[in-house]
Amino acid sequence: MPNLVIRREVGWEQKPSSYTILIDGVEAGSVRQGEQVIIPVQPGRRSVQFRMGKCSSKPLELTLVLGKDELVEGSHPTKALPSLLGRALFPKSFIRARRLTTGFTSTHG
């Protein structure tokens, strides 16, 4: 079974807030700043999204294959002014979800 390895970047605000992790629209856990969580998932096409209060990311579409983990990072603007403006003006795309491949070696699988 493949794993989604979810990582959250450290932001400027240093708050203990969490992103809720949604997989295929269903809550699958949460991740705090600087943390990494591992979520086993069934192979196939999956949608990953982050939510924090009224803010969210756009869904990230992935195709997961047996024996291969995928690394996904959640982040939002790391400077105070862009973060505050983005949260107020664009809450539905304030958080960024992106697939990372560079330097990722799976040890779970």
**28 or 89: which carries more pLDDT confidence?**
28
What pLDDT does 10 receive? 77
Using 50, 70 and 90 to split pLDDT, how confident is the model at 84? Answer: low
Record the tokens describing residue 50, joined without a space: 């982050």
- Across 82-95, average pLDDT: 61
Contact criterion met (CB below 8 Å) for 29 and 19: no
User: Whole-angstrom Cα distance, residue 27 to residue 90?
Assistant: 22
Contact criterion met (CB below 8 Å) for 24 and 46: yes
